[in-house]
Amino acid sequence: MKQMLFIAGALWLTIALTSCNNATSKQDKPSPSTQQPQQKGNDTGKPSPNSVAQIMDKPEIPVLCYHRITEGKKGDYTVSPATFAAHIKILADSGYHAISPAQLYDYLVYNKSLPTKPVMVTFDDSREEHSAIAAPTLEKYGFRGVFFIMTITYDKENYMTKEQIAQLAKAGHTVGLHTWDHTMVTKYKTEEDWQKEIAQPKEKLEKITGKPVEYIAYPNGVYNHESAEKMSKYMKLSFSLSTKRDTLLPLQCIRRIIVPDMPAQSLLKSMRRNFK
């Protein structure tokens, strides 16, 4: 009888301890509602990219477009060296920070942060004064620019040499493409056109700079949906002018404004008016 009572007591103790342990285990394990959500991402470790709609909803960053920087010329595509220096000075004095296309891409696609009051300063057509005047002026204020190169022009009179282009990249500026000979992308009819105007010049610039060429400025700022879609196979970002954006391909139609020879204060007003 005593042996039976001992066995029954031992069995009861075992059941009690097991129930206690199960209760503790349930308390230690967090409920589904309190578990930390996993960050969206992919197998590369990067966060998932924004959708087209999310990119379109982001505030546009001011992007300035310069062409000629010289004395004695008139027109929307020319500023004097003094005007250009005044423009860059007022940007710096007003707290603006020059950003690169790589920073803009990460902001648009991955929500990376940008410095306060970001602006991008770009140059079209490979002019020699871009190396002699623009780059040193930018560097004086800690800025870096984006230089879109036509490869048909290098080593020609009044245009940058291959060595000057390479030096821009070495100094931290971005070298992008402006096609081979400035033919508008809407005029490309065959794959041979794309090879001559985009693929081959891109490869040449990459050999000159030793860096990937991932950004382009459309000649005359002109594009259409078909050409923008094709360009996305070559470039991460493509830059137009102040035209309506393609809502399906926002990365291939980044808006810029052409900067004429205007007072520095007028430049700030133009930026606020065009990029809201």
pLDDT, averaged per 10 consecutive residues of the chain (276 residues), comes to 40 40 38 34 73 97 98 88 98 98 98 98 98 98 98 96 98 98 97 98 98 98 97 98 93 97 97 92
- Report the SS3 class of residue 76: coil
pTM of the model: 0.83
Sign of the Cα torsion 76, 239, 155, 191 reads: negative
Output the 3-class SS for 185-236: HHHCCCHHHHHHHHHHHHHHHHHHHCCCCCEEECHHHCCCHHHHHHHCCCCC
Judge whether 152 and 180 are in contact, CB under 8 Å: yes
C-beta neighbour count of 212 within 10 angstroms: 12
pLDDT of residue 171: 98
3-class state of residue 147 by DSSP: strand
Tokens of 41: 């991402």
According to the model, what pLDDT value does residue 44 have? 58
